[in-house]
Each structure stands twice: as C-alpha cells, then as structure tokens.
Amino acid sequence: MRTANIIGTTGLTGHFLLNQILEDEHFETVRVFTRRPTGTKHQKLEEHIINFDSPDEWKHLVQGDVLFSTLGTTLKKAGSKENQFKVDFQYQYEFAKAAAENKVPVYVLVSAPGANPSSIFFYSKIKGKLEQKVIDLDFKSIHILHPSILEGDRKENRFFESLGIRFMKLVNKLGLLKSYRPIHGKTLARAMLEASFKTYTVMRIYEPYRLFIMADQYLDRKRKGNTEG
C-alpha cells in the first residue's frame, strides 16, 4: 500500500487527481498540502493547510512513496510575473526538494510542451527552469508530463484558453495536430497515476499524445488490480 503527497489539489487536474487517488485501492494514505481546504472528506485523506512561503513548517511532512505536483497559476491570476514565478517555480521546487531529501522515491510533475529555460516566453521559461532543477534531485523516478490545452470546468473564466480548445478541436477534425488535441483534467490525472507506478524509469518526459495512452493503461491497471509498471 502506498502513501501519496499532492500539491495543487484545488486546481482542475488536482481536483480530479485527488478524487481518483482516494478511490484507488493501491493508495492507503493521501496527504495534500494546500492554502485552503479542499472540501473533501475521506478516511484516507490527510489535509494540511500550509503557508507555502514557510517550508520549515511543513517540509518534514512530505513523506511516503510519491509526490504529485499539479500546482500552477496564470499571470492574470497571480497579478505579476514575480508572483507567478513564486507559484510555478519556487513553491514547486521547494516541495520537490523536501520530498527528495525525505527519500520519497517517485516524483510526478505536470509541466508544459515547449518548456525551455531559455525560452523568450515567460511561462515556458518558468516551466523549463523547474524541469532543469528537479531532474538533479535525488529521486528514484522522475516523470514530467507535457499536456496540451486542458479541458474541464474551471472556477474562473479563461476566455483565450476556451478559444484555443475550440480552435484545436476544429483543427483535429480536419486531421491536423492530433498529437496536440485538448486533454480533459480527468484524463491527465489518470496519466499521472499511471506514471507513478513506472518506478523502473529514472527520468522520462511524456509528450501530449502519450498521455492519452497512459490514461488508458491506468484504467486497465485498475481493472486488473496490477501495481507493476
């Protein structure tokens, strides 16, 4: 039986990840770290309301078998590049570092296609810097997922993202860019869970098309009750 740690559970993918992992018989304890309550009650759930700016208060709690990171924000929501960098890089790196120091063996990170520390685009640059830093941490297995545009009901309105989803679906119907078709948060959560079982992999980056395959593999794994990668 496994113990999972999750950051980002109040977001779209994190919400689906939490719900699915609580129902997964392979996980005995699900420990979430959040700034506000998730509103979820479950016998497996340990919820820690924390100050992300004070790692000394929570880093000793990041223990177990896997760290899932779905944390992230937008420039609009963060209010400034400085705040977005803090959420998308600093907080995530501090958690990954704490997990590695506490001998958590597996790390599963949601990043983005085009992540590059040298990118001219701020978002891609943040994601690239984070990937560059975490791959040097002492994990047994690191899994970095590059999803395309995310589908699903969000609490906030993201006009341009919604427009992008409609555009990509139209392009996909024409037989173009199918590898980059939009992915639902529930599907991405399944792909994250499947990645967490692949403990034989030292480090791997999964591009958008691969995530759909992994999500199907996870459903097969659940049906078979299998825990091996």
Within a 10 A sphere around the Cβ of 185, how many other Cβ atoms? 21
**What would you measure as the largest C-alpha separation in the chain, in angstroms?**
52
In contact, 26 and 65? CB cutoff 8 Å: no
Write down the pLDDT at residue 186.
Answer: 94
Write down the pLDDT at residue 165.
Answer: 44
For the chain, list residues with pLDDT below 70.
152-180, 227-229
Write down the pLDDT at residue 200.
Answer: 86
Write down the pLDDT at residue 133.
Answer: 96
Write down the pLDDT at residue 217.
Answer: 94
Sign of CA dihedral 79, 74, 153, 20: negative
What is the amino acid identity at position 125?
K
